[in-house]
Chain A
């Protein structure tokens, strides 16, 4: 069960124009930056990207937006990206904004083999338009469908050659649930170790969900909003 590939270029080799991709991360935290760089280099177009955010102008998915590689963006919050806002208001980019919990749970549903979920998020708002509403115990819930993505691309802290993954701190975020949700899942990790080196009790994503894994070099791990306090 060796899932190791040589690097990002090999990992994304069969991602083609028009495909649907899930990309892990929250803002720039836990972002699969090596695969994004490879996608930018490859120049695939007409992509549908499912990710909580759209990066910033010069990092993350923002790099793909700049090259007009994204046809549709499915996200919950896109406030940090002027290029995104420009393409959206000019009509070049199709955007579906959905509640963050709905986004997460639609990933989870795909990974758990469930076709749909029910959530109260969006009831009475424009998010509910055209969707089935069911009442359970006196409260209304929206039916939201599981995502169907060709590829899920995630970033983990450690991984082994079988594809077992461990995330670090809040860089976990959407990564484990997206890892479970792709038809093909690519994991880029900071540290790739031999099978047997990770404690089975501490695996976050079992390797069964992961198809390709590689170690990325020199992670930039850019900070979006650096906030500090002074030492007294």
Chain B
């Protein structure tokens, strides 16, 4: 089974040289730590920055330089700053190659819910609805089951949707799965020490298993 860092590490393997990538809040943010130095990758932060760097050294924080999670960050050489309309313009126009975000639920046809629990949590969707509606390449990083032990990979989402038919890949503490174009979660890899049976048990939606499922390499 993977911890959060492990999930981030596995997702980092999906990033290719030359990609512009938007990382959501939570586990996706950790992915930045595992992008190899040999790769030319530019991180987009939707509050208006391309070329996001690591956190600043203590004492060098700049209140004017934050990421979409409102964390103090740094700019790398070659960074560019722009306003919020242009930021979502480049997302809508599909200039950003990969979007990685968290989710509360994903359905077998690629619907995602991650912004609202009616009556309980009202925080808002931020940029998530724009990202999932426009990006071609969306990877979800999340836990396979919620705190109550219920599967988050469902036949149909029960929470208000963020977007429909958009998630392409899911990486959880148990497995890597693709969302098939005609519906269903295709099991690609098992996390170290996790059996196919455990994944079947934790997946409520339609699970497609073909042949022997390899253990992931991270």
- On A, residues with C-beta under 8 Å from B are 26-30, 52, 75-80, 85, 88-89, 95, 97-105, 107-108, 119-127, 157, 167-177, 204, 221-231
B126 touches A121 (CB 8 A): no
CB-defined contacts of A226 to chain B, threshold 8 Å: 61, 71-72
A170 in complex: contacting residue of B59, B65, B85, B163, CB < 8 Å: B65
- Does B158 belong to the interface (CB within 8 Å)? no
B58-76 to A contact mask, C-beta < 8 Å, 1/0: 1111111111111111010
Smallest beta-carbon distance B69→chain A, Å: 7
- Cβ of B153 to closest chain A Cβ, rounded Å: 19
B162 within 8 A of A: yes
**Residue A172 contacts which of B57, B72, B82, B162 (CB distance < 8 angstroms)?**
B82
18 contacts across the A-B interface (CB closer than 8 A)? A78-B122, A99-B130, A103-B84, A105-B89, A119-B133, A125-B162, A125-B164, A127-B125, A167-B81, A170-B66, A172-B81, A173-B48, A173-B83, A204-B83, A222-B63, A225-B69, A225-B72, A229-B55
Q: State whether the Cβ of B180 lies closer than 8 Å to any Cβ in chain A.
A: no
Query: What's the nearest-Cβ distance from chain B to residue A69, in Å?
Result: 20
B160: which A residues are within 8 A, CB to CB?
125-126
Contact B64 A124 (CB under 8 A): no
Contact B55 A227 (CB under 8 A): yes
Q: Is the CB of B81 within 8 A of A169?
A: yes
Binding site for A on B (CB under 8 A): 45-49, 54-73, 75, 81-85, 87-89, 91-92, 111, 119, 122-130, 133-134, 160-165
Contact assessment for B124 and A79 in the assembled complex, using a CB-CB cutoff below 8 Å: yes
Number of A-B contacts (CB under 8 A): 182
Cβ-defined contact, A101 with B130, below 8 A: yes
- State the Cβ distance, B63 to closest chain A Cβ, in Å: 4
A227: chain B residues at CB < 8 Å are: 55, 71-73
With a 10 A CB-CB cut-off, give which of A119, A170, A223 has the most chain B CB atoms: A170
Residue among A52, A121, A127, A169 having the largest count of chain B Cβ atoms under 10 Å: A121
What are the residues of chain B within 8 A of A100 when measuring CB–CB?
46, 84, 88, 125-127, 129-130
CA distance A63 to B122 in the complex (A): 19
CB distance from B209 to the nearest CB of A (A): 29
